[in-house]
Chains A and B, each alone.
Chain A
Amino acid sequence: MPDLLLELFSEEIPARMQKRASEDLQKLVTNGLVDAGLTYEGAKGFATPRRLALTIHGLTARSADTREERKGPKVGAPEKALAGFMRAAGLSSIDEAQIQSDPKKGEFYVAVIEKPGRDAAEIIAELIPGIIRNFPWPKSMRWGAGSTRPDTLRWVRPLRSILCTFGPETEEPEIVAFEVDGIKSGDVTYGHRFMAPEAIRIRRFDDYTDKLNAAKVVLDSARREEIILQEAKNLAFSQNLDLVEDSALLHEVAGLVEWPVVLMGSFDERFLNLPDEVIQLTIRVNQKCFVLRDPKSGALTNRFILVSNLIASDGGKQIVAGNEKVVRARLSDAMFFWETDLKTPLQARVQKLGNIIFHEKLGTQLQRVERIKSLATTLAPLLGANPAEAERAAELCKADLVTEMVGEFPELQGLMGRYYATAQNESSSVAAACEDHYRPQGPGDTVPSDPVSVAVALADKLDTLSGFWLIDEKPTGSKDPYALRRAALGVIRLILENNCELSLTDVIGQACSGHQRDALAAADISGVTPDLLAFFHDRLKVYLRDQGLRYDLIDSVISEDADDLQLIVRRVEALSSFLDSEDGKALLSGSKRAANILRAEEKKDGKVFDSSVSADLLSDPAEKALAEAVDVAVSKAKAAVDGHDFTAAIEALSQLRAPVDAFFEDVMVNDENAQIRENRLNLLNRIRQATQTVADFSKIEG
C-alpha cells in the first residue's frame, strides 16, 4: 500500500499555532481522502517553526468503482418530471435511462450511474489545494506581488514551497503534481535556516525525517521538547541545580527552534534580592528562558537556561553573552521598579487609584476601595476579624495596581501588594490580605482562612457582584465578561470553607448601599437583593452537586429567602443522613402518601385543608396518637430549627414515623362522615407542616 508525504514549507509559524495546525492538516486531509472513497492505515501530522508536515501510510492506491441506481418517474410522466430526473441523474437524453417495471407502479425509469474508481494521486492532487486555500488559521495574511488578486492565497505567513510525494514502499514514489497560487508541488524541502539551508530532495517519509535530521531539523515537536527538557535537566544537574519546570514555556520554546541547543547563562547575584516570582516572570515572559533552583534551599539561583536554534561556531559563547546582557537589562528594569516602588508607601499610592476607572458606571478604583473598606469593616466582627485590620487591609489592597512593577507585569497584582505591605511593616494579616483577597480565583484555587483576608475577599466580591447587578450587567448564557459567576462561587466557598454564618440578604444590602453613596445614587436596589440571592442559590446548587450532594435535597431546603449558606448546607447534610435511615425512608414515604391523598382530595373538593385539627372529632386511637405526636414534633422541630440544630429537628421528625405508619395502617381517611373526613385531611396537612420545618419533602425524589 502506498504512502503519502506532504510538507508545507513557510516563513516562521507562530509557536502557539503549530500544534493545532498540524492536527487540522491531518484531519482535513484524511477526512477528504476517506470521503473520496480511499482508506488508510495510519496518519501523523508534524509542525516546526517553518513547516507543517503530514505522513499517511497504507493509503489505497485507487478508490473502488461505484454503481448507483437512481429511480425516476413513471414512463409517460409529465415533461417537467422527466427533465428534473434527467438533470439530477446527469442524463442528456431519457433514452440513456433504463426502464424497469414493478407490479404495483408499472413501468418507470431508472438511471444507472456508474463511477469508475480513481487513482489516489488524482484524488490527492484535487483535494490538497482546496485544503491549503481554506486552512483554518486563527489569523492569516497576504503577501507579495500576488496580493493584489482577490483570490490570492492566504496563509499564516508566506508559504514558500510544497512537497508532495506518493507511492508504494518498494517503488520510487512520484510527485503528486498540483499548484496553489503559483507554487508547484515538488519533492524538495530545505534544512535548518542557518546550518543547512540547501535544497534537499525527498522520496518518502523515512528519508524525509532522516534527511531533515541530517540537515539539523527535528521534525517532531514532542521530540524537541524531550531534547530540551533532558538537556536542561542534565545541564542543571551538572551544576548541582534543579530546573524549575514549566510545561507551557517548554511547549512554546519547542515551537521556536528546529534544532534545540540548550545553554546556561547567569546574572549578577544582587538581582536575587528581587522576589523569586519577579525574577521568574521577567526571565520567562521577556526572554523565554527557564530559571534554576538550589535543591537544598529551594530558592532561585542566579543561573538560567536558554534554548537557542544554533550550534554556534564558538560553542555558544556569544549567544550566552547576548542573552545574559538582555536578562541583565530586564532584571535592572525590574530592580528599578522594585526599588522605586519601595520608596513610596502603599498608603501614599491609594489616592492615585482615583485616576483608574474601574467601570464607567461604577466609578474609579478609589471609590471601589472606599466601598470595600466600609464593607470589610462591617463584615469583620461577623468573621472574627479585627475590624481595624480589615479596614487597613482593604485600604491598601488595590494600591499595588499603581506600582511600577504591576504596571509592567499585571499578573503580579496582589502578590506585589503583599511584598510591599510586608516591606513597610504591615501586620502579616494585612499583608496576606493584599494578595489573598483576590482568592479564590476559580474552583481549583485555595480559599484564604485568615479572617482579615476573608473579610476583604468577601467585601471585594460582594461589591463587584452588587455593582454589576445594580447596572444590570448580569451574566447571560455563555457570556460572563466580568467573571461574576466566579465571584459568586468565591463568596460561597469563602463562607462555607470558613464556616461563616452570615445573612447574604444583609450583606448584599450593605454592598448596594455603598454603591448608592457613590456613582449610583439613583439606582433602585429593591429588586437587586432577591435577584442576586437567587443567583447565589443557583451557584450554590451547582457547587454542592459538584461536592456530591443530592440535587433534590438541596432544592428541598432552599427557600426563596434562604440567605445563610452555612445553614442550607447543614440542613442538606442532616436531611441526607436522615433519609439514609429506615425511619427517614419510612417517614418520606408516609409524608408522600399524605401529600398525595391531600392533593387528590383538595382537587376533588376545590379547597385547601389547612384548618386546625379538632380533638373532638378524633376517635381512632391511631389518629389521636398521630395528632398528639405531630403537635409535639412540630413544636420541637421548630424550636430546634430556630436554634439551627438540624439534627435535633430531624430527630423530632423521626418520632413521627411510627404514628404515621400506624395511622395509615388503621385509619380510613375518607370517612363517610364529611366532618371526620375533613378533620383527618387537616391532620394529614399537619404532617406536611411538620416536615416543612426542615425541608419541602415534595421536592425530594424517591
Chain B
Amino acid sequence: MSQSDPHATALDLPPHMRPERSFQGLILALQRFWADYGCVVLQPYDMEVGAGTFHPATTLRALGHKPWRAAYVQPSRRPGDGRYGENPNRLQHYYQFQVLLKPSPPDLQDLYLKSLAAIGVDAALHDVRFVEDDWESPTLGAWGLGWECWCDGMEVSQFTYFQQVCGIECSPVAGELTYGLERLAMYVQGVDNVYDLNFNGRDGDERISYGDVFLQAEQEYSRHNFEHANTDVLFQHFKDAEAECQALLAAGARQRDEAGDGIHKVVFPAYDQCIKASHVFNLLDARGVISVTERQSYILRVRELSKACGEAFLQTEAGGAVAKESQHA
C-alpha cells in the first residue's frame, strides 16, 4: 500500500490547520492518515454512546469474516465523569478517534506510530511505550488484549486486538485503535487545561477555544447527569429499549424464516436499542440510583442484548452470511 509521507503533508499545511495548533487540525490529520491507508472514514454515530467501540462500525463489523477498515471520530458520553467544567482533564462528553482494521494487519504497531508522527509526535524526541492493558467491556460481552500507549508517561491511546465481541469469538481478529483526542491535542498544543485548547487554530478574535464550544455544555450536562435527569423516566426508557431490542430481533428472525433465506432482516435497528439501553444505564448509574447488586444485573441485561444482536448480525450479508435459495417460492 503506497502512502504519501504524512509528515511532509503536515508541514505543507497552513498554520491554522496544523495538528499542534488546532484541535480540528489534529482530527483532520488523523482522518487524512487513515483515509490514505484505505479506511472508510465515517462520521460519528448519531446516538449517545460511552465509547467509540459502541459504534456499529466497530461492534458489529468486528464480527464475521469480511474484511473491514474504518476510521471515525465518535463523541463519547460518560455521564459520571462530569465535573461541572471545573476539572481540567475530566469531561462527561469528549471525542475519541476510532480505527478498526479487520483482520489486524501485521504492521499495526508501525501504522499507529506513523499516525502519531502525522500529528507531530516525533519518536526521536518522545518516549512512546506500549504498556499492558487488557481491555474488557462487560456490557458488550467483549474483551481483547493490547496496551495503553504512553507518550512521555501520558496515556494517549488504547490499542486492542479484539478476541471476543458480543460474546462471539472474533474470526478473524480485528485491531482497534482508540485515540483520546483531547489528551493528544493538549499534549501537542502544550496546554494544561482542556478548555484552553485552540479549536480552530486561529489567533486573536478569530480564535475559538474548546471552552468556547463545550464549557457551558459541560456545566449543563453535569447538572443534568447528577441532579435533574428524571430517574423514573429513565428506568422506563431502559425497559422500553430492552423490550424494543428484543422485539426487533424477533421480527427480523420471523422475516428471515418467512423468506427462508437464513438472512436476519432487522439487526442494526435492534442494536440501536441496545446502545440506548447502555447509555440510559450509565445515566442511572451517574444519578446514583442503582445499587451495587442491581448494577451487575443491569450490565448483564445489556450484555444479553448485545449478544443477541451480534448473533443476528452474523446472519446478515455484512456479517458474512450468504442467502440460501428461498425454500418458499
In Å, the complex CA distance between A141 and B161 comes to 8
Contact A357 B109 (CB under 8 A): no
In Å, the complex CA distance between A16 and B87 comes to 33
Which of B100-108, B256-264, B271-279, B297-305 forms contacts with chain A?
A: B100-108
Partner of A325, one of B128, B145, B154, B172: B154
CB of B317 within 8 A of chain A? no
Contact B125 A318 (CB under 8 A): yes
Which of A328-336, A530-538, A553-561 forms contacts with chain B?
A: A328-336
Indicate whether A144 sits within 8 Å of B104 (C-beta atoms), given known contacts A15-B132, A322-B154. yes
Contact B152 A323 (CB under 8 A): yes
In Å, the complex CA distance between A637 and B158 comes to 75
In Å, the complex CA distance between A312 and B127 comes to 8
CB of A157 within 8 A of chain B? yes
Closest-by-CB residue of A relative to B130 is A12
Task: Give the residues in chain A near B127, CB-CB below 8 Å.
Answer: 308-310, 312, 319, 322
Which B151-180 residues have C-beta < 8 A from chain A? 151-154, 161, 163, 170-173, 175
Task: Give the residues in chain B near A360, CB-CB below 8 Å.
Answer: 293
CB of B68 within 8 A of chain A? no
CB of B43 within 8 A of chain A? no
Task: Give the residues in chain A near B106, CB-CB below 8 Å.
Answer: 144, 158, 160
Contact B154 A326 (CB under 8 A): yes
Residue among B125, B153, B192, B288 with most chain A CB within 10 A: B153
In Å, the complex CA distance between A12 and B145 comes to 11
Contact A314 B125 (CB under 8 A): yes
Partner of B163, one of A12, A49, A141: A141
B78 to chain A, nearest CB (A): 16
Contact B173 A322 (CB under 8 A): no
Contact B147 A355 (CB under 8 A): no
Task: Give the residues in chain A near B161, CB-CB below 8 Å.
Answer: 141-143, 157-158
Task: Give the residues in chain A near B254, CB-CB below 8 Å.
Answer: none
Indicate whether A319 sits within 8 Å of B126 (C-beta atoms), given known contacts A306-B153, A325-B192, A329-B89. yes
Closest-by-CB residue of B relative to A355 is B291
Closest-by-CB residue of B relative to A308 is B127
Indicate whether A357 sits within 8 Å of B292 (C-beta atoms), given known contacts A144-B104, A322-B154. yes
Closest-by-CB residue of B relative to A316 is B127
Task: Give the residues in chain B near A15, CB-CB below 8 Å.
Answer: 131-132
Contact A356 B153 (CB under 8 A): no
In Å, the complex CA distance between A164 and B92 comes to 52
Contact A143 B173 (CB under 8 A): yes
CB of B11 within 8 A of chain A? no
CB of A619 within 8 A of chain B? no
In Å, the complex CA distance between A156 and B163 comes to 12
In Å, the complex CA distance between A142 and B171 comes to 9
B111 to chain A, nearest CB (A): 13
CB of B187 within 8 A of chain A? yes
In Å, the complex CA distance between A327 and B187 comes to 13
Task: Give the residues in chain A near B123, CB-CB below 8 Å.
Answer: 194
Contact A312 B104 (CB under 8 A): no
CB of A321 within 8 A of chain B? yes
Contact B172 A322 (CB under 8 A): no
Which A565-598 residues have C-beta < 8 A from chain B? none
Partner of B145, one of A139, A146, A312, A321: A139
Chain B proximity mask over A7-44: 1 for CB below 8 Å, otherwise 0 = 00001101110000000000000000000000000000
Closest-by-CB residue of A relative to B105 is A144
* CB within 8 Å: A-B pair count: 120
B284 to chain A, nearest CB (A): 14
Task: Give the residues in chain B near A332, CB-CB below 8 Å.
Answer: 88
CB of B65 within 8 A of chain A? yes
B186 to chain A, nearest CB (A): 8
Which B61-81 residues have C-beta < 8 A from chain A? 65
Task: Give the residues in chain A near B126, CB-CB below 8 Å.
Answer: 310, 312, 318-319, 322
Task: Give the residues in chain B near A143, CB-CB below 8 Å.
Answer: 103-104, 161, 173, 175
CB of A248 within 8 A of chain B? no
Contact A329 B291 (CB under 8 A): no
Residue among B125, B147, B151 with most chain A CB within 10 A: B125
CB of A256 within 8 A of chain B? yes
Indicate whether A11 sits within 8 Å of B292 (C-beta atoms), given known contacts A319-B152, A323-B153, A326-B154. no
Residue among A49, A142, A309, A327 with most chain B CB within 10 A: A142
Which A264-303 residues have C-beta < 8 A from chain B? 287-289
Task: Give the residues in chain A near B240, CB-CB below 8 Å.
Answer: none
Residue among B89, B123, B127 with most chain A CB within 10 A: B127
CB of B1 within 8 A of chain A? no
CB of A348 within 8 A of chain B? no
B207 to chain A, nearest CB (A): 22
Q: For this complex, into which size category does the number of interface residues on chain A fall?
A: 35 or more
Closest-by-CB residue of B relative to A318 is B125
CB of B134 within 8 A of chain A? yes
Closest-by-CB residue of A relative to B144 is A141
Contact B171 A148 (CB under 8 A): yes
In Å, the complex CA distance between A351 and B98 comes to 42
Task: Give the residues in chain B near A329, CB-CB below 8 Å.
Answer: 88-89, 192
In Å, the complex CA distance between A146 and B145 comes to 17
CB of A147 within 8 A of chain B? yes
Task: Give the residues in chain B near A612, CB-CB below 8 Å.
Answer: none
CB of A476 within 8 A of chain B? no
CB of A522 within 8 A of chain B? no
A182 to chain B, nearest CB (A): 10
CB of A247 within 8 A of chain B? no
Contact B104 A318 (CB under 8 A): no
Partner of A357, one of B144, B154, B293: B293
Task: Give the residues in chain B near A673, CB-CB below 8 Å.
Answer: none
Closest-by-CB residue of A relative to B160 is A141
Closest-by-CB residue of B relative to A336 is B87
Task: Give the residues in chain B near A289, CB-CB below 8 Å.
Answer: 153
Indicate whether A147 sits within 8 Å of B152 (C-beta atoms), given known contacts A194-B124, A312-B127. no
Task: Give the residues in chain A near B89, CB-CB below 8 Å.
Answer: 329, 333
In Å, the complex CA distance between A147 and B145 comes to 14
Task: Give the residues in chain A near B173, CB-CB below 8 Å.
Answer: 141-144, 147
In Å, the complex CA distance between A141 and B175 comes to 12
B71 to chain A, nearest CB (A): 19
In Å, the complex CA distance between A323 and B104 comes to 31
Contact B103 A144 (CB under 8 A): yes
Contact A139 B134 (CB under 8 A): yes
In Å, the complex CA distance between A289 and B153 comes to 9
CB of A521 within 8 A of chain B? no
CB of B129 within 8 A of chain A? yes
Contact A322 B152 (CB under 8 A): yes
In Å, the complex CA distance between A257 and B127 comes to 10
Partner of B103, one of A147, A157, A322, A327: A147
Closest-by-CB residue of B relative to A320 is B152
Indicate whether A147 sits within 8 Å of B170 (C-beta atoms), given known contacts A322-B151, A322-B154. yes
CB of A145 within 8 A of chain B? yes
B113 to chain A, nearest CB (A): 8
B21 to chain A, nearest CB (A): 17
A412 to chain B, nearest CB (A): 20
Contact A194 B128 (CB under 8 A): yes
Indicate whether A321 sits within 8 Å of B105 (C-beta atoms), given known contacts A14-B132, A141-B145, A147-B173. no
Can you give 16 contacting A-B residue pairs, CB < 8 Å?
A142-B170, A142-B173, A143-B175, A144-B173, A158-B104, A288-B153, A310-B127, A312-B125, A318-B125, A322-B126, A322-B152, A325-B152, A325-B154, A326-B153, A329-B89, A336-B87
Known A12-B147, A144-B104, A323-B154; 18 more pairs at CB < 8 Å: A12-B132, A15-B131, A49-B130, A143-B104, A143-B175, A144-B105, A146-B172, A147-B172, A289-B153, A310-B127, A312-B124, A313-B125, A318-B126, A318-B152, A322-B126, A325-B192, A333-B87, A356-B292
Residues of A within 8 A of B (CB): 11-12, 14-16, 49, 139, 141-148, 156-158, 160, 194, 256-257, 287-289, 306, 308-310, 312-314, 318-319, 321-323, 325-329, 332-333, 336, 355-357, 360
Q: Pick the 9 closest A-B CB pairs, nearest first.
A: A322-B152, A14-B132, A323-B153, A12-B130, A308-B127, A147-B173, A145-B103, A141-B145, A147-B172
